[in-house]
Amino acid sequence: MDNLKPLLKVCNLNVYYKDIRVLKQVNLTVCAGQIVSIVGPNGSGKTTVMKAIAGILRPIQGVISYQHEPIQKLPVHEVVRRGLVYVPEGMNVFPLMSVLENLEVGAYTARKKKNNLLSIVFEIFPVLADKRRDMARTLSGGQKRMLTIARGLMSDPDLLLLDDPFLGLAPKDVNRLCNTLKMIRRHGITLFLAGQHVRRILRVATKAFLIEEGKITLVGTGEQLLGHPHFREILLGVIAESKIEIV
């Protein structure tokens, strides 16, 4: 892992909501080809990290470098054009549009590559190929989640940020999505995941961060975090309140 090429570097990132500092000197690196996870208790700053990287939140201090260029002052659409795409928690489909039309919306920054991207998406999600003419509202919950991720892939990302991708999925859909994430990685796309399904997210992670009260407190592989005494103490201590999955 040490020889991997850095794709994203976040240095000394501080983000405020009004007068409250919610991210405190956050430092992290995502290398090309990795599946990176960030986990932590509810309200610890996971989604804030994602939104700051994607350009939705403006950091007060710090530098976000993507492919060796600072992006923290760029508008969201320009961040997307550079290959960094964020799929937020609970992102919805366009219910009265077909599956294919939903995917075509995702290609607004990569129109010239649309047909090639569709081929890749349909290879990764064959069920969407079968249902391409169906209205998105007729899909199951798991299929809708596939469609939102596929729509993100239609923007031709090098780095795909997925916030709580397992939210609300049935166990069989969670298992299927874990395998899908590995397939996306094999297509050369780097993944950065956040969410509450801690065990699932860490099982697929080649690198992982624990964030607590806006600070990164542990870094390692997913398996290393799962076995770390502090990690287990922190998450087991809040499991009843936050419903975080750990075992």
- What's the token pair of residue 135? 């209205």
**Tokens 């007729």 belong to which residue?**
138
Question: DSSP assignment, residue 91?
Answer: P
Domains and CATH numbers, the chain: 1-83+157-177+188-247 (3.40.50.300), 91-156 (no CATH)
Please report which confidence band the pLDDT of residue 237 belongs to, taking 50, 70 and 90 as the band edges: low
pLDDT digits (tens, 9 = 90+) for 46-64: 999 999 999 999 887 899 9
How far is it, in rounded angstroms, from Cα 165 to Cα 38? 13
Residue 160 and residue 189: Cα distance in Å, rounded?
7
CA–CA gap between residue 22 and residue 71 (Å, rounded): 20
Angle between helices 141-153 and 171-186 (to 10 degrees): 20
Q: If residue 233 lies in a helix (H) or strand (E), which one and from where to where?
A: helix 229-242
pTM as predicted: 0.89
